[in-house]
Chains A and B, each alone.
Chain A
Amino acid sequence: MDVTVTVNGTTYERDVEPRKLLIHFLRDDLDLTGSHVGCDTGNCGACSVIVDGVLLKSCMLLAVQADGVTIETVEGLSEDGELTQLQQAFNEHHALQCGYCTPGMLMSATALLRENASPSEEEVKKALQGNICRCTGYWNIVEAVKAVAR
């Protein structure tokens, strides 16, 4: 099936099998490997992307369902190689170790901060509930997001 999708400002047209998950379409067809496959069961959130402004897990959507939508992935966060404030805060607060969950964490935190520019610690934790990190114990991730909160 023909799918036309805009990812990080670029429009792509591809022929896609209906059974292909959106995460595999992004990674394998569009070569956007920033979004990760962690659990492939909808639990870990490493594949989180923003679809038409809504934070979703791209392992629980079919690529054909993305026809006509606008997607933001972690590759699209920084412009011209400049880290966003949030990415800079992750760096400064040592909010990653192995880094596997980081793309999803960044997308979830980005979605949160758009909706709520000054979240409480509790709200940050709630917003990151769908993202699993097996290294950091979450503490520094929450600290990084709080550092960007106004």
Chain B
Amino acid sequence: MLLREVEYAKPGSVAEALELLASNDGARALAGGQTLINVMKARAASPDMLVDLNGLDELRGIELAADGTLTIGAMATYSELMSSAEAKARPILGEVCAQIADVQVRNRGTIGGNVCSNDPTNHLPPLMVAVGARLTIASSDGEREVPADEFFLGVYLTAAGPGELLTRISIPAGKKDGFAAVTLGAEGTCICNAAASVNGNVRVALGCVDAVPVLVTADAPEGVADAVRGANLMPPSDVHASSEYRIHLATVLAERAAAEASSR
């Protein structure tokens, strides 16, 4: 497929990337491109300029602090999260990344691209909410840190606005996490998913049921189903699942994810 004409820029630093994004209205950041290039083929997105973040070492790397906090560069790929010794400090990260698409996509697709695209069927937005990630957004004015439950604003819409860039994601220490999904084929697109984390209470973030991940909490895994029912979900119906069926899936998957989290 021939894309619409587009300018291409390869900045040498995050500062330069921000400058390019801020000074060109039609500019979009290009991370792994495993979503963006495809939506450009379909003309669902037609940026005038692509600002290629590949090659910016500042946005790479996975670091583990002494207190167990993980700091993940936005351009870390799914494959890197699966193989990184540091990322094993929070095992659910690699486990969920291993369920995304296939080897080729995992070798190129990035954690930053997954959360910034905020497709409601993506795996990582609910996971980031469940584990209480904090996301650092840079702009020409400096940096700010946004908690995951405030980062996702709408379908394809996040707190990283025009002229801004997600640079890194900070994830606190923890091991008691779970993830469950019903997908189109093994490891395909999610019809419904749930990420859970136990830290005192149980936090479950549901994906595919609203424009943004829906967070429910309960005192114990046994209370999760009631918590989901109390969230009054109104998910969309589509060819894969009716709204009612998605609510059913959300309840079951929330229980499964919570049970997995509490068993670890």
Contact surface of A with B, Cβ cutoff 8 Å: 1, 17-21, 24, 40-42, 45, 48, 54-57, 59-62, 64-65, 108, 111-112, 126-127, 129-131
Contact = CB atoms under 8 A, between A and B. Distances in A.
Contacts of B105: 42, 57, 60, 130
Interface of B: 1-8, 33-34, 37-38, 41, 50, 52, 54, 101-105, 107-108, 186-187
A17 B101 CA distance: 29
A115 B179 CA distance: 28
A65 B1 contact: no
A130 B101 contact: yes
Contact of B8 (A41, A45, A62): A62
B158 to A, nearest CB: 22
A40 B34 CA distance: 12
21 contacts: A18-B6, A21-B3, A21-B37, A41-B38, A45-B102, A48-B104, A54-B107, A55-B104, A56-B108, A57-B104, A57-B108, A59-B1, A60-B38, A60-B105, A62-B37, A62-B50, A64-B8, A65-B52, A127-B103, A130-B104, A131-B102
A19 B104 contact: no
B9 to A, nearest CB: 9
Given A54-B107, A61-B33, A129-B102, A19 B54 contact: no
Contacts of B4: 19
Contact of B104 (A18, A40, A108): A108
A127 B107 CA distance: 12
B103 A129 contact: yes
Given A61-B33, A62-B37, A111 B7 contact: no
Contacts of B34: 42, 60
A20 B8 CA distance: 11
Given A54-B107, A130-B101, A19 B2 contact: yes
Contact of B50 (A18, A55, A126): A18
Given A48-B104, A130-B105, A60 B33 contact: yes
Residue of B4, B7, B105, B187 with highest tally of chain A CB at under 10 A: B105
A84 B7 CA distance: 41
Contacts of B108: 54, 56-57, 60-61
